[in-house]
A = this chain, B = another copy of it.
Amino acid sequence: MDNKAETDLTDAQSAPPAATDLVAALQAVLPPHCILFREEDTRPFECDGLSLYRALPAVVCLPETEAQIQAVMRICRKLNAPVVPRGAGTGLSGGAMPHPQGVLLGLSKLNRIKRIDRDSATAVVEPGVRNLAISEAAAPYGLYYAPDPSSQIACSIGGNVAENSGGVRCMKYGLTVHNILRVRVVTIDGDIVELGSEAPDAPGLDLLAVFIGSEGMLGVVTEITVKLLPKPACAQVLLASFNSAEAAGHAVTRIIGAGIIPAGLEMMDRQAIHMVEPFVQAGYDMDAQAILLCESDGTREEVDHEVERMEAVLGAAGATRLQVSTSEPERLRFWAGRKNAFPAAGRVSPDYYCMDGTIPRRHLARVLTAIEQMEDEFGLRCANVFHAGDGNLHPLILFDSNKPEETERADKFGVAILELCVQVGGTVTGEHGVGMEKINQMCVQFSREELDTFLAVKRAFDPRCLLNPQKVIPTLARCAEYGKMHVHGGELRFPDLSRF
Contacts and interface: CB of A to CB of B under 8 A. Distances in A.
Interface stretch (A23-31, A77-85, A250-258, A377-385): A250-258
B193 A449 contact: yes
A480 to B, nearest CB: 19
Nearest to A305: B301
A201 B427 contact: yes
A164 interface: yes
26 contacts: A118-B257, A177-B206, A187-B453, A193-B449, A194-B450, A197-B427, A198-B426, A201-B427, A203-B433, A204-B442, A204-B451, A205-B214, A205-B457, A205-B458, A206-B212, A206-B214, A207-B210, A210-B210, A230-B258, A232-B259, A299-B305, A301-B301, A302-B302, A453-B460, A456-B460, A457-B461
Interface in A165-207: 166, 175, 177-178, 187, 191-195, 197-207
A33 to B, nearest CB: 28
Nearest to A306: B302
A453 B218 CA distance: 11
- Most chain-B CB neighbours within 10 Å: which of A204, A360, A391, A473? A204
Copies of this protein in the assembly total 2
Interface string A402-436: 00000000000000000001000111111101100
Given A204-B442, A210-B209, A230-B257, A199 B457 contact: no
A125 interface: no
A287 to B, nearest CB: 29
Nearest to A202: B427
A109 interface: no
Considering the complex of A and B, which 5 residue pairs feature the smallest CB-CB distances, nearest first? A209-B209, A230-B259, A456-B460, A199-B358, A199-B426
A91 B413 CA distance: 50
A488 interface: yes
B201 A121 contact: no
A453 B199 contact: no
A258 B121 CA distance: 11
A425 B204 contact: no
A222 to B, nearest CB: 12
A210 B200 contact: no
